[in-house]
Amino acid sequence: GDSVTQMEGPVTLSEEAFLTINCTYTATGYPSLFWYVQYPGEGLQLLLKATKADDKGSNKGFEATYRKETTSFHLEKGSVQVSDSAVYFCAIRWSGGFKTIFGAGTRLFVKA
């Protein structure tokens, strides 16, 4: 069946370190891919998205590229800040499919 697999956390980094959070998926058809971020006590916020193969989504220094050949959508940031500490969710959703599948989430801690 359709699924999303994220690297397990928590991930602990020092400020200004490089971040990669891996995400791979199994899906029929051609879903759109998303990264969401959840700060403590809040709902999910859309971080970035990509709707077709080779699309690169970017926002607030975060980037991810839709890799159809490897069914991956890894999240990267060149220099993390303490304020990036949160839980990150990878997700897939089909236009007109009325369902979203989320990964388990990866908790990121950034130390000053």
Partner 1 sequence: KAGVTQTPRYLIKTRGQQVTLSCSPISGHRSVSWYQQTPGQGLQFLFEYFSETQRNKGNFPGRFSGRQFSNSRSEMNVSTLELGDSALYLCASSLGEGQGASEQFFGPGTRLTVL
Which residue, 18 or 39, has its beta carbon nearer to partner 1?
Answer: 39
Among residues 1, 29, 40, 96, the one that binds partner 1 under rule CB under 8 A: 96
Q: If binding is defined by CB under 8 A, does position 51 make contact with partner 1?
A: yes
Among residues 12, 20, 45, 81, the one that binds partner 1 under rule CB under 8 A: 45
Which residue, 42 or 112, has its beta carbon nearer to partner 1?
Answer: 42
Q: Are the C-beta atoms of 86 and 75 separated by less than 8 Å?
A: no
CA distances from 18 to 14, 59, 61, 62 (A): 9, 16, 11, 11
How many chain residues touch partner 1 (CB under 8 A)? 25
Pairing mode, if any, of strands 106-111 and 11-14? parallel
Q: What character string, x for contact with partner 1 (CB under 8 A) and - otherwise, covers 22-41?
A: ---------xx-x-x-----
